[in-house]
C-alpha cells in the first residue's frame, strides 16, 4: 500500500452516528471535544466555523464539506461575536440519523457523520492530521456529499451489510478529504501528510512503509530520494517535522501497537518482524514513543474496545 493508505488502515473507523441540523440565524453553537472524526456537508446556506487552536475561522457556503479529524472543540455560528449555546442542549433529544431544526431553521442546513476509532493509538495517528480540512473543489465536494448522504441512508435504513458499508464510506470520506488537502501542495504545512506532496520526500517515506524492518540509514533513504545525505536530512526534518530515523521508529511502533491489539503474536515475534534483534531494545523504543511498555499496551486493548462499544 501507499503511505497514506498504510496510516489510515490502522485507524479502523467504527461506532458511527449521523444526522443533520437546520439552523436559523442569529445563532452560535459550541460543540465539545469529540473522539474520532467528524465530516459534514453544508446542504444550503452559510455559516462560520471556528476550531479551537486554529487562528482563522472558515466561512462555509452551500456545498462545502469539512472534516474535523483532531477532536478539537468547535463552533458553528451565523456571527462569531454571538454568545454560543451548548450543542448538548440541542442534540440530547435528536435520534441518530435524524435532522433537528434549531431557531426556526433556514440559515444553514448541515448534514454529516461522526465515527470513532477502534485503535488504542488512534490519538497519535489523528494528531498527525490537520485539525480542519475544508473542501471547496466542486468534484471533491460532490464525492464527499454522496458519501455522507449514503452513510446517513445506511444508518436510517439498515440492511444486510450496512455496518461494512458505513465503515468503507467513512474511510472513503477521509481519504478523499486528505487527497484534496494534499493537492494544496508541499507548502501547505509540516508533517508526513504534507510531505507526501514532495516527490523526493514521498519516495523516502514510501520506502520506510514498504520495508519497516529494514536497517535503514539516512544515507540509504537519501539515495531513494535522489539527494545527498545532508540535503535530505535537512529537508526531511523541515517537511515532516521529525528526523528520518525518528519517523522510522515512530512508524514501527504504530505498527507494533496494531499487532499488539489485533494479533496473538508474542512481543519477541513482533520485535523481530520490525527489525529489532532483542525484545529489550524493542520495548525501550516502544515505551519512548507510545508512553507505556508493550505488555501494558497489550493489556489496555480489551478495556478500550469495551469502552468503544458502550
3-class state of residue 304 by DSSP: helix
pLDDT score for 91: 67
Within this chain, do residues 163 and 247 fall inside the same structural domain, yes or no? no
pLDDT score for 83: 94
Within this chain, do residues 172 and 31 fall inside the same structural domain, yes or no? yes
pLDDT score for 25: 93
Within this chain, do residues 246 and 177 fall inside the same structural domain, yes or no? no
3-class state of residue 113 by DSSP: strand
CATH number at residue 196: 1.10.10.60
pLDDT tens-place string over residues 274-299: 999 999 999 999 999 999 999 998 77
Average pLDDT (55-71) is 89
Q: Among residues of the chain, what percentage have pLDDT more than 90?
A: 43
More confident residue, 166 or 246: 246
Within this chain, do residues 177 and 196 fall inside the same structural domain, yes or no? no
3-class state of residue 168 by DSSP: helix
pLDDT score for 215: 95
pLDDT score for 266: 94
Q: How many domains does the chain have?
A: 2
Q: Which of 183, 209, 227 is the last residue of a domain?
A: 183
What are the residues whose beta carbons fall under 8 Å from the beta carbon of 255, sequence distance 6 or more?
10, 212, 274
At 30, list the grid cell: 459550541
Distance CA 32, CA 216 (A): 42
H or E stretch including 112? strand 108-117
More confident residue, 255 or 298: 255
Within this chain, do residues 209 and 301 fall inside the same structural domain, yes or no? yes
Burial class (CB in 10 A: 0-12, 13-18, 19+), 41: buried
**245: which DSSP letter?**
H
pLDDT score for 261: 86
Highest mean pLDDT among 12-16, 206-210, 260-264: 206-210
**Residues 205, 192 contacting (CB under 8 angstroms):** yes
Within this chain, do residues 248 and 216 fall inside the same structural domain, yes or no? yes
Within this chain, do residues 166 and 97 fall inside the same structural domain, yes or no? yes
Within this chain, do residues 38 and 165 fall inside the same structural domain, yes or no? yes
Furthest-apart CA atoms within the chain: distance in Å: 65
pLDDT tens-place string over residues 99-157: 788 888 899 999 887 878 766 667 766 776 778 888 887 887 787 788 878 877 876 78
At 118, list the grid cell: 477502534
What is the domain range of residue 95?
Answer: 3-183
Within this chain, do residues 54 and 146 fall inside the same structural domain, yes or no? yes
pLDDT score for 93: 55
Q: Is omega for the bond preceding 26 within 30 degrees of 0, making it cis? A: yes
Within this chain, do residues 31 and 171 fall inside the same structural domain, yes or no? yes
Confidence of residue 310 (pLDDT cuts 50, 70, 90): very low
Dihedral sign of CA atoms 181, 182, 187, 193 in order: positive
Distance CA 102, CA 77 (A): 12
pLDDT score for 92: 62
pLDDT score for 306: 32
CATH number at residue 110: 2.60.120.280
Q: Which of 183, 202, 230 is the last residue of a domain?
A: 183
Average pLDDT (79-97) is 78
Average pLDDT, the chain: 84
Burial class (CB in 10 A: 0-12, 13-18, 19+), 49: buried
Within this chain, do residues 52 and 162 fall inside the same structural domain, yes or no? yes
More confident residue, 27 or 140: 27
Backbone angles phi, psi at 166, to 5 degrees: -65, -40
Q: Is omega for the bond preceding 31 within 30 degrees of 0, making it cis? A: no
Q: Which of 183, 210, 238 is the last residue of a domain?
A: 183
Within this chain, do residues 148 and 64 fall inside the same structural domain, yes or no? yes
More confident residue, 79 or 15: 79
More confident residue, 194 or 186: 194
H or E stretch including 138? helix 138-156
Amino acid at each position: 500500500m501507499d503511505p497514506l493508505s498504510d496510516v489510515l488502515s490502522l485507524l479502523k473507523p467504527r461506532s458511527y452516528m449521523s444526522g443533520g441540523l437546520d439552523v436559523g440565524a442569529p445563532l452560535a453553537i459550541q460543540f465539545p471535544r469529540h473522539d474520532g472524526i467528524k465530516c459534514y456537508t453544508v446542504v444550503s446556506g452559510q455559516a462560520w466555523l471556528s476550531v479551537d487552536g486554529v487562528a482563522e475561522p472558515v466561512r462555509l457556503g452551500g456545498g462545502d464539506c469539512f472534516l474535523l479529524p483532531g477532536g478539537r472543540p468547535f463552533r458553528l455560528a451565523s456571527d462569531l461575536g454571538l454568545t454560543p449555546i451548548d450543542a448538548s442542549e440541542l442534540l440530547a433529544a435528536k435520534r441518530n440519523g435524524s435532522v433537528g431544526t434549531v431557531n426556526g431553521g433556514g440559515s444553514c442546513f448541515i448534514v454529516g457523520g461522526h465515527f470513532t476509532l477502534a485503535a488504542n493509538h488512534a490519538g497519535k495517528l489523528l494528531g498527525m492530521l490537520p485539525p480542519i480540512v475544508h473542501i471547496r473543489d466542486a468534484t471533491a465536494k460532490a464525492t464527499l456529499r454522496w458519501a455522507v448522504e449514503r452513510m446517513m441512508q445506511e444508518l436510517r435504513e439498515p440492511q444486510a451489510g450496512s455496518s461494512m458499508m458505513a465503515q468503507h464510506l467513512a474511510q472513503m470520506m477521509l481519504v478523499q478529504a486528505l487527497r484534496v488537502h494534499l493537492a494544496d501542495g508541499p507548502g501547505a504545512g509540516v508533517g508526513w501528510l504534507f510531505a507526501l506532496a514532495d516527490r523526493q520526500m514521498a519516495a523516502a517515506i514510501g520506502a520506510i512503509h514498504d520495508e519497516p524492518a529494514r536497517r535503514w540509514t539516512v544515507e540509504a533513504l537519501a539515495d531513494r530520494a535522489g539527494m545527498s545525505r545532508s540535503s535530505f536530512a535537512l529537508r526531511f526534518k523541515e517537511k515532516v517535522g521529525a528526523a528520518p530515523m525518528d519517523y522510522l521508529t515512530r512508524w514501527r511502533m504504530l505498527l507494533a501497537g496494531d499487532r499488539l491489539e489485533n494479533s496473538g503474536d508474542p512481543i519477541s515475534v513482533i520485535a523481530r518482524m520490525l527489525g529489532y534483534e532483542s525484545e529489550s531494545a524493542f520495548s525501550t523504543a516502544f515505551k519512548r514513543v507510545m508512553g507505556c511498555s508493550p505488555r501494558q499496551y497489550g493489556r489496555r486493548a480489551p478495556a478500550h474496545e469495551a469502552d468503544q462499544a458502550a
